[in-house]
Structure 1
Amino acid sequence: MERIFFPLPPLTEQYRIVSEIEHWFALINQIEQDKLDLQEAIKQAKNKILNIAIHGKLVPQDPSDEPASELLKRINPKAEITCDNAHSRKLPNGWSKCHLKDALLIIMGQSPNGETINQINGIEFHQGKLYFSDIFVQSSNVYTSEPKKMAEKDSILLCVRAPVGIVNIVTRSVCIGRGLCALKPKKGNSKFYFYWLQTLQNIFERKATGTTFKAISSETVKNECIALPPLAEQQRIVQKIDELFSTLDNIQKALEV
Structure 2
Amino acid sequence: MKVKNRLGEKLGDDWVKGVLSDFGQVVSGGTPKTKVPEYWGEDILWITPADLSGYSEKYIYKGRKSITHLGLKNSSARLIPKGSVLFSSRAPIGYIAIAGNELCTNQGFKTLIPSEALNRDFLYYYLKSIKQLAEGRASGTTFKELSGKAFAELPLCVPPLPEQRAIVSKIEQLFSELDNGIANLKLAQQQLKVYRQSVLKKAFEGELTRQWREQQTDLPDAKALLEQIQVEREESYNEKLDEWKRAVKEWEDAGKEGKKPTKPKKLKKIEPFTETELAELPTLPNGYGWTRLGELHHLKSDKHTGSGESLFYIGLEHISKNQGTLTDEVKIDVINTVKNSFKKGDLLYGKLRPYLNKVYLANEDGVCSTDILVFESIPSLDLNYSKYYFLSYKFVNDMTHNSSGVNLPRVSTKYLQEYPFPLFSLEEQQAIVTEIETRLSVCDKVEQDIEDNLKIAEALRQSILKKAFEGKLLNERELEEVRSAPDWEPAEVLLEKIRAEKAGSGKKGKA
Q: Is the 8 A contact 2:158 2:164 kept in 1?
A: no
Question: 1:150–1:15: structure 2 CA closer, same or farther, 3 Å change rule?
Answer: closer
**In 2, Cα distance between the equivalents of 1:188 and 1:135?**
18
Q: Is the Cα contact below 8 Å between 2:312 and 2:333 reproduced in 1?
A: yes
Unaligned runs of 5+ in 2: 1-18, 24-154, 232-268, 453-511
Deviates more, 1:83-92 or 1:27-36: 83-92
How far apart are 1:85 and its partner, in Å?
6.6
1:101 and 2:294 aligned: yes
Match of 1:50 in 2: 200
Gap change, CA 1:192 and 1:233, over 3 Å in 2: same
- Where structure 1 has 5 or more consecutive residues not aligned to the other structure, the ranges are none
* CA drift at 1:102: 1.3
The answer to which of 97-106 and 181-190 deviates more is 181-190
The aligned residue for residue 38 of structure 1 is 188
Q: In the alignment, which of 222, 227, 233 is matched to residue 417 of structure 2?
A: 222
28-37 vs 58-67, which moves further: 58-67
1:2-151 alignment, distance < 5 Å = 2=22, 6=157, 8=159, 11=162, 15-60=165-210, 61-62=213-214, 63-64=216-217, 65-77=219-231, 82=273, 84=277, 88-108=281-301, 112-113=305-306, 116-117=307-308, 121-126=309-314, 128-133=315-320, 134-137=323-326, 139-144=330-335, 149-151=340-342
- TM-aligned CA deviation for residue 123 of structure 1: 3.4
Alpha-carbon distance between aligned partners in 1 of 2:159 and 2:339, rounded to the nearest angstrom: 72
Distance 1:81 1:89 in 2: 16
Distance apart, 1:109 and its partner CA: 7.1
Residues 52-99 of structure 1 show CA distances to partners (whole Å, capped at 9, x for unaligned) of 111111221345223343222112148765464798431212312111
SS of residue matched to 1:29: helix
Which residue number in structure 1 is paired with residue 353 of structure 2?
162
Q: 1:59 to 1:5 in 2, by over 3 A?
A: closer
TM-superposed deviation, 1:147: 6.2
CA distance in structure 2 between the aligned counterparts of 1:122 and 1:21, rounded to whole angstroms: 54
| Pair 1:240-2:435 in alignment | yes
Against the structure 1 CA distance between its residues 108 and 38, is the aligned structure 2 distance closer, same or farther, given a 3 Å change threshold? farther
Partner of 2:490: none
* Cα 1:228–1:5 shift into 2, 3 Å: closer
Compared CA separation, residues 71 and 147, structure 1 to 2 (3 A): farther
> What does residue 174 of structure 1 align with?
366
Amino acid at match of 2:367: C
Give the CA deviation at 1:136: 2.9
Q: SS of the residue aligned with 2:332?
A: coil
Q: Percent of aligned pairs with the same residue?
A: 20
Q: Which has the larger radius of gyration?
A: 2
**Letter matched to residue 293 of structure 2:** L
2:319 maps to a residue whose letter is F
How far apart are 1:209 and its partner, in Å? 1.0
Root-mean-square deviation over aligned CA pairs: 2.9
- More off after superposition, 239-248 vs 148-157: 148-157
Shift of 1:143: 3.7
In the superposition, the TM-score normalised over structure 2's length comes to: 0.44
Relative to 1, partners in 2 of residues 1:154 and 1:85: Cα closer, same or farther, differing over 3 Å? Answer: farther
Cα displacement string for residues 32-63 of structure 1 (whole angstroms, at most 9, x for unaligned residues): 11111111111111011111111111221345
Cα distance in 2, alignment partners of residues 235 and 75 from structure 1 = 16
| Count of aligned pairs between the two proteins | 250
**CA deviation digits over 1:221-251, x for unaligned, max 9?**
2111111112111111111111111111111
Q: Relative to structure 1, is the Cα distance of residues 143 and 5 closer, same or farther in structure 2, using a 3 angstrom cutoff?
A: closer
SS where residue 300 of structure 2 aligns?
strand
TM-score by length of 1: 0.84
